[in-house]
């Protein structure tokens, strides 16, 4: 992974994305500022940031339903959308939805396979969204859409930073960044072993530069195929060399896909309510079809069938891979919103939509 050098084609695709972003930056910034002002979010506050295209909107809705069923508000969650059509659906949950043509075009289909074209294009959204938030002095928790929440994790970050004994021995500073433990111990994740799908950054010059450095390295992401690889190298170059104080989160409290695949005892204890994690990140998958299967098996699928007409999962017995048709049909949800939800205020709209679409499987955490 780390020996591949960015090529000219990658720089041209970076121009398409970064060039368009810079061209429309004034409008993008104004749109963002208006949105946070409307929601009374100021410098020093927290934002949860997610990115999604139409093909993975069901994963976002599953996350939203997990929050609803655990009495967690989505008011401080901002979702950068890959198309304008899904903004109304995002905002029907109480979250903030943003789309602008300057974000650069991305397919409406789901990423079927790890590192496929759709997957790589969405990495650009993961890069610029963080920069937009941090440069306004707002702390950010970034997370992928293949997560569910059982408890709001923001209090954990606040409590940990407030504890005097958690200051750095060398600098005396509090923790600037929290990263989930991917579980991998290969060179690709060294030395932090952090997963780029769930992390919390305190807004300052160090973290803002870290976000910019990833955004400006899209040519490397193009050739490497993954945000994770560039994320790791920039952690070393940026946060580590600037002596930012970091913490890797416990897998017991912030479990990732390694626990599903390699720790059956933990999964059993979670179903028995003997452990109390903040959520679960269903990473360690080859693509979206596997995520859907594993979330269901783990009893962490919180959408009713009528609101999640997901693509058929076809098992190829020759190579045991599962493939989906592509973009799911979410006609039921869109029709329900168009039928009258748009005229309701945000709180009533989410109550109506969640009562129609959210449910907990028997024995669900």
pLDDT attached to residue 313: 35
Q: How many CA atoms lie within 13 A of 111 on its CB side?
A: 25
Asked if 104 and 16 count as a contact pair (C-beta separation under 8 A), the reply is yes
Which of 156, 140, 144, 145 shows the shortest CA–CA distance to 276? Answer: 156
Please give the Cα distance from 301 to 2 (Å, whole number): 36
CB neighbours (10 Å) of residue 39? 16
Instruction: Note the pLDDT of residue 2.
Output: 57
* Helix ranges (DSSP H) in 250-287: 257-262, 264-271
What pLDDT is attached to residue 109? 61
pLDDT in tens, the chain (365 residues): 556 676 777 667 777 888 899 999 999 999 999 999 999 999 999 999 999 988 888 899 999 999 999 999 999 999 999 999 889 889 989 999 999 999 987 766 655 554 455 566 788 899 999 999 999 999 999 999 999 999 999 999 999 998 867 777 666 678 889 999 998 887 777 778 889 999 999 999 989 999 999 888 887 777 766 677 788 888 887 766 677 788 999 999 999 999 999 999 999 999 999 999 999 999 998 788 889 889 999 999 999 877 775 443 333 333 333 333 334 444 555 555 555 566 677 678 888 889 888 999 999 99
User: Phi, psi at residue 329, to the nearest 5°?
Assistant: -90, 115
* 205 Rama sector, left if φ>0, alpha if ψ -120 to 50, beta otherwise: alpha
Predicted confidence at residue 107, as pLDDT, reads: 66
Domain positions in the chain are 8-251+287-312+328-354
What is the Cα–Cα distance from 357 to 82, expressed in whole angstroms?
Answer: 23
- CB half-sphere exposure, 124, CA atoms < 13 A: 26
The DSSP string of 305-364 is GGG--PPP-EEETTTTEEE--SS---HHHHHHHHTTGGGS-HHHHHHHHHHHHB---TT-
Tokens at 78, concatenated: 């901002």
| 250: DSSP letter | P
Instruction: Please give the pLDDT value at position 312.
Output: 35
Q: Nearest-5° angle of CA 185, CA 187, CA 188?
A: 95
Q: What is the pLDDT of residues 320-350, one digit of tens each?
A: 333 333 344 445 555 555 555 666 776 788 8
pLDDT at 46: 98
Give the span between the Cα atoms of 96 and 342, in whole angstroms: 14
The CATH code for residues 8-251+287-312+328-354 is 3.90.550
Closest CA to 98 of 60, 145, 50, 46: 50
Beta carbons of 139 and 65 less than 8 angstroms apart: no
User: pTM of this prediction?
Assistant: 0.88
CB atoms within 10 A of CB 45: 15
């Amino acid at each position: 992974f780390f020996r591949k050098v960015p090529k000219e084609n990658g720089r041209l695709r970076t121009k398409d994305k970064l060039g368009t972003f810079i061209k429309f930056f004034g409008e993008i910034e104004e749109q963002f500022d208006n949105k946070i002002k409307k929601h009374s979010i100021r410098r020093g506050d927290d934002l949860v940031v997610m990115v999604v295209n139409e093909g993975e909107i069901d994963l976002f809705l599953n996350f939203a339903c997990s929050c609803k069923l655990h009495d967690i508000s989505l008011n401080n969650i901002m979702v950068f959308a890959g198309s304008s059509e899904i903004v109304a659906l995002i905002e029907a949950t109480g979250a903030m939805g943003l789309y602008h043509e300057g974000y650069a075009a991305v397919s409406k289909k789901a990423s079927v396979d790890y590192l496929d074209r759709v997957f790589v294009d969405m990495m650009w959204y993961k890069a610029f969204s963080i920069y937009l938030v941090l440069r306004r002095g707002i702390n950010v928790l970034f997370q992928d859409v293949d997560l569910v929440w059982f408890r709001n994790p923001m209090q954990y970050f606040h409590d940990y930073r407030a504890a005097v004994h958690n200051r750095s021995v060398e600098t005396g500073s509090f923790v600037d960044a929290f990263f989930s433990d991917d579980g991998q111990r290969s060179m690709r994740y060294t030395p932090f072993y952090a997963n780029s799908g769930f992390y919390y950054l305190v807004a300052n010059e160090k973290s803002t530069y870290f976000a910019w450095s990833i955004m400006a390295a899209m040519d490397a992401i193009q050739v490497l195929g993954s945000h994770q690889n560039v994320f790791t190298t920039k952690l070393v170059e940026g946060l580590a060399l600037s002596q930012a104080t970091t913490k890797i989160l416990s897998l017991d409290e912030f479990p990732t896909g390694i626990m599903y695949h390699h720790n059956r005892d933990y999964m059993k204890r979670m179903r028995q309510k003997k452990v109390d994690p903040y959520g679960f990140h269903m990473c360690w998958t080859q693509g979206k079809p596997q995520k859907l299967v594993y979330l269901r098996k783990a009893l962490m699928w919180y959408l009713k069938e009528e609101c999640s007409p997901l693509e058929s999962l076809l098992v190829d017995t020759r190579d045991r891979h599962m493939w989906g048709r592509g973009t799911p049909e979410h006609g039921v949800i869109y029709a329900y919103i168009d039928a009258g939800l748009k005229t309701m205020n945000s709180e009533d709209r989410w109550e109506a939509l969640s009562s129609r679409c959210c449910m907990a499987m028997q024995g669900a955490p």
